[in-house]
Amino acid sequence: MSDLICELVKEDDPFLREVPDVFDFDSPQVDPEKLEKQLLENMFHHRGYGLSANQLGIPVTAFAMMNGYDPVVVFNPEITEFSEETTFMKEGCLSYPGLYVAIERAYGVSTRFQFSDGQEQAGNFIELSARIFQHESEHMDGEIFIDNVSGYRLKAAMRKRKMILKRIKKQQEKG
């Protein structure tokens, strides 16, 4: 296992609610290439479609995500436009293992961000990659995917989660 793999920040840690600092390419808080590698390795290790730096305890605006079959790491992401069309599907978060809730999100987003070398990029994402970009961007604002879920739907999802976590624990005990 790589020395870049680390434990994820737990769901009850107030750190997830803190707004991370904008990544400063002129005076980097951490090495951007190492952070890129660390985000990708942890996203794959923890089997996620996306992972933000603050989920690793690193308070900067950067995240890794899958764009189709291609992983990409974005720094200083900004959503400049949301499509009017929306989709509604179940979503999870690596910091909330076993919790899946249907969330309504824009079908497509227009974005601006930077790569690890500081190069600026504009791009459009649709469907699953748009959903991932929106989810990870919320982490950049200190928000969590369940913030706008009704109490009823969240309670139902939490009950299901208990069963999922029990099942996972049993499988781990069997080894």
| Amino acid symbol at 112 | R
Q: If we measure between CA atoms, which residue out of 72, 74, 58, 60 comes closest to residue 24?
A: 60
The catalytic residue among 36, 41, 91, 136 is 136
**169 CB-contact burial (10 Å; exposed 0-12 / middle 13-18 / buried 19+):** exposed
Q: Is 11 a catalytic residue?
A: no
In sequence order, the 6+-apart residues with CB closer than 8 A to the CB of 151 are: none
- Do you know the residue count of the chain? 175
Give the number of C-alpha atoms closer than 13 A to the C-alpha of residue 25, restricted to the C-beta side: 13
What distance in Å separates the CA atoms of residue 91 and residue 35, rounded to the nearest whole number?
25
Residue with tokens 């290790």: 45
- 141-31-58-56 Cα dihedral, nearest 10 degrees: 110
Q: What residues are annotated to the active site? A: 136
